[in-house]
Amino acid sequence: PLPDNFAVSEGRLKSLKGRLVSKGILNDYDKIFKDYEQNGIIEQVPADEVAGEVGQVHYLPHRPVIREDKETTKIRAVFDASCKVNGPSLNECLYSGPNLLAKIFDILIRFRLNRIAILADIKQAFLNIAISSEHRNYLHFLWFDVESGEMRVYKFLRLVFGLTSSPS
């Protein structure tokens, strides 16, 4: 089972809050989670469901990645599924799947076979892949209400960037 990592996630959140305030990006980072919630990517965990047995609930620490060179997404949230606390990390417990990069050569060859090619860049494509309900307890994270400062627990309903099993 996964070890209890609530305290580590809580400590990282407190530290993160100070950094976000000092950089003046707290509201921008908060907007990411509000958008996630509005779009059904995450949901707040009801208070009566927050406590869980060790190994049955896992918290993902997170941090912002800031890319000034990006037009649309200058700040994004990255979740640390490699965080270890007295045992394996979540990433160490996940199957990474087959290496899809080995197939790129074949894709490029097929791409050149025809006169017309179609490309698509689907906005936040991986955030549209649902997580089965029995696995969502392993994808909890902590955030807080910016107005009140009250800490809240959320869980992902969609695929998370930062998991070994997520495409990079």
* Cβ partners under 8 Å of residue 126, min gap 6: 158, 159, 161, 166, 167
Tokens linked to 163: 């998991």
| pTM listed for this prediction | 0.82
Average pLDDT over residues 87-108: 78
Whole-number Å distance between alpha carbons of 14 and 27? 15
**Topology annotation, domain 5-156:** HIV Type 1 Reverse Transcriptase; Chain A, domain 1 (3.10.10)
Per-residue pLDDT at 123 exceeds 70: no
End-to-end C-alpha distance for the chain, whole angstroms: 26
- Residues of the chain with pLDDT > 70, as a percent, come to 90
Condensed to tens digits (0 to 9), the pLDDT of residues 1-25 reads 788 899 999 999 999 999 999 999 9
Q: Which of 138, 32, 144, 8 is nearest to 83 (CA)?
A: 8
Banded model confidence at residue 55, pLDDT cuts 50, 70, 90: low
Per-residue pLDDT at 104 exceeds 90: no
Q: Hey, where are the domains in the chain?
A: 5-156
